[in-house]
Amino acid sequence: MKKIVLALVSCLFVISIAGCSSDNKDTASNKSDSKSSSSTVSDNSYLDYINKIEVGDSLDQINEVIGSDGEVHSDNATYSWDIGNGGFVAVFRKDDTSSALSVEVSYDKKDVENKKVKIKDLDGLKSKVKEGISYDDFKENLGGVDGVLVSKGSVTKSYVWRSPDGSVVDAAFRLDDNMCNSFTGTER
């Protein structure tokens, strides 16, 4: 069972990093981890869903937070919501919506750009990841700016750093020790 959960989480992470759709959406959110029951969406507030919804929440809980029912996909395990400038996805065990295995929010790239993000020397950052680097040290290499939360699973949380020039870094950090276990990036 652990292998299935890890496979699903890994698959979602790869999709979130590789998926830049034609409508300019990615996966993300902001930094706070507070839980709230607000269901109104205005401007960029849709990015807060990743902070309000937890791995382990039921489909009913997620529907309540978002304020609408999710659309079930053909696998009977994945639900999605079209919200604001983006969307939200939750993955459950097949035909069991009592506890989400992973959650992620989609976003418009412009909604997460931060002019303080400094993406440079990705080869040096790659070496640091191989040696072992914590979230705090990782973000210092990108201008000291917190990443935008993109997804949560039972093993990792994933973040994105995006500058207005189109440079971007996506990275996953283990929940147990907050160390980076993978990242991809593009310098412009």
- With contact defined as beta carbons under 8 Å apart, do 106 and 26 qualify? yes
Q: How far apart, in whole angstroms, are the C-alpha atoms of residue 39 and residue 113?
A: 24
Q: How far apart, in whole angstroms, are the C-alpha atoms of residue 150 and residue 50?
A: 7
- With contact defined as beta carbons under 8 Å apart, do 100 and 58 qualify? yes
Q: Which residue has the higher pLDDT, 40 or 135?
A: 135
Neighbour tally for 177: CB within 10 Å: 10
So what's the pLDDT on residue 46?
A: 83
So what's the pLDDT on residue 86?
A: 87
With 0-12 / 13-18 / 19 or more C-beta atoms within 10 angstroms meaning exposed / middle / buried, residue 57 is: buried
Mean pLDDT of 127-150: 95
Mean pLDDT of 13-21: 35
Q: Which residue has the higher pLDDT, 37 or 50?
A: 50
Q: How far apart, in whole angstroms, are the C-alpha atoms of residue 125 and residue 141?
A: 7
Percent of the chain clearing pLDDT 90 (strictly above):
65
Segment among 1-15, 81-95, 128-142, 162-176 with least mean pLDDT: 1-15
So what's the pLDDT on residue 7?
A: 37
CA distances from 97 to 59, 60, 127, 182 (A): 5, 8, 40, 29
Flag whether pLDDT at 35 surpasses 70.
no
So what's the pLDDT on residue 43?
A: 55
Provide the b/e sequence for 102-124 (b: ≥16 CB within 10 Å): bbbbbbbbebbbbeebebeebee
So what's the pLDDT on residue 39?
A: 32
Mean pLDDT of 109-115: 91
User: pLDDT band at 31, cuts 50/70/90?
Assistant: very low
Q: How far apart, in whole angstroms, are the C-alpha atoms of residue 73 and residue 138?
A: 36
User: pLDDT band at 83, cuts 50/70/90?
Assistant: confident
Flag whether pLDDT at 9 surpasses 80.
no
Provide the b/e sequence for 62-97 (b: ≥16 CB within 10 Å): bbebbeeebeeeeeebbbbbebbbbbbbbbbbeeeb
Mean pLDDT for the chain overall: 81
